[in-house]
Amino acid sequence: MTTLTVSPSAERNKQPILDVLRLVLPDRGSALEIASGTGQHCAWFAAGLPGWTWQPSDADASALSSIAAWTAQTGVANVRAPLLVDVLAPNWPAQGPAFAQAFDAIYCANMLHISPWATCAALMQGAAGHLAPGGVLITYGPYFERTVMPAPGNTAFDQSLRGRNSSWGVRQLDEVSQEAARAGLALRRRTEMPANNLLLVFGRDHG
């Protein structure tokens, strides 16, 4: 029997995130989750947004069993089997044929600060290539903003991350937005979330 992996932070933030998703997404659609991690978010969102079909994924093959286990325990029928997707790879997913259909939403939480900076450009470019017309990229996590005094907790978190890996760290929102712009995406919505996090919605930049 596969043991469920539990992230306390995912358990805390899943409902606040779902509340915003219900505001920014239509009633029906298909979503790709990048960096699904434990699988808690995908299972929760699938239950809370029954008109959506979810495709979970992760770059770590060892995460896929927990993702599948959360789907099974929740009993949701609108979640596909998890796939291996590394945003830095030339193809999404990494194994098998590329996604045949575009997604109405791509969701990525808490990846940019615990991966090399190159993953930001890769996420933006990959999302631009896999979003349907009118589709959105949604990211969630801590960000620094040049016009906003950083929260002490985020500053300490950034230092901790960089101490663990010099290529990690809380990202500057304007630099993330610049990478999005290079991929033809523009920041459409910024929502402040609990624990000094932000939920960002990017859409195609129509000039």
Give the model confidence (pLDDT) of 149-202 as tens digits. 999 999 999 999 999 999 999 999 999 999 999 999 999 999 999 999 999 999
> What range defines the domain where residue 119 resides?
8-140+178-204
The helix/strand/coil state of 206 is: coil
> What does the alpha-carbon distance between residue 166 and residue 153 come to, in Å, rounded to a whole number?
19
Tally the domains of the chain.
Answer: 1
Within-domain flag for 149: no
Within-domain flag for 96: yes
Label residue 115 exposed, middle or buried (CB < 10 Å: 0-12, 13-18, 19+).
buried
Within-domain flag for 111: yes
Q: What percent of the chain is predicted at pLDDT more than 70?
A: 98
Within-domain flag for 30: yes
Q: Is the pLDDT of residue 1 over 60?
A: no
Within-domain flag for 154: no
Within-domain flag for 123: yes
For 120-133, what is each residue's pLDDT tens digit? 999 999 999 999 99
For 74-106, what is each residue's pLDDT tens digit? 999 999 999 999 999 999 998 888 898 999 999
Give the residue among 123, 94, 93 at the shortest CA–CA distance from 106.
123
> What does the alpha-carbon distance between residue 20 and residue 189 come to, in Å, rounded to a whole number?
11
Q: Residue 168 has what pLDDT? A: 98
Within-domain flag for 146: no
Average pLDDT, the chain: 95
Q: CB 31: neighbour CB atoms within 10 A?
A: 25
Within-domain flag for 145: no
Instruction: Supply 136's token pair.
Output: 């959105």
Q: Residue 95 has what pLDDT? A: 82
The domain that holds 91 is classified in CATH as: 3.40.50.150
Q: Is the pLDDT of residue 207 over 80?
A: no
CA distances from 133 to 36, 56, 93, 205 (A): 24, 21, 20, 11
Label residue 81 exposed, middle or buried (CB < 10 Å: 0-12, 13-18, 19+).
exposed
DSSP 76: -
CB-side exposure of 34: number of CA atoms within 13 Å?
31
Q: Residue 59 has what pLDDT? A: 96
For 27-58, what is each residue's pLDDT tens digit? 999 999 999 999 999 999 999 999 999 999 99
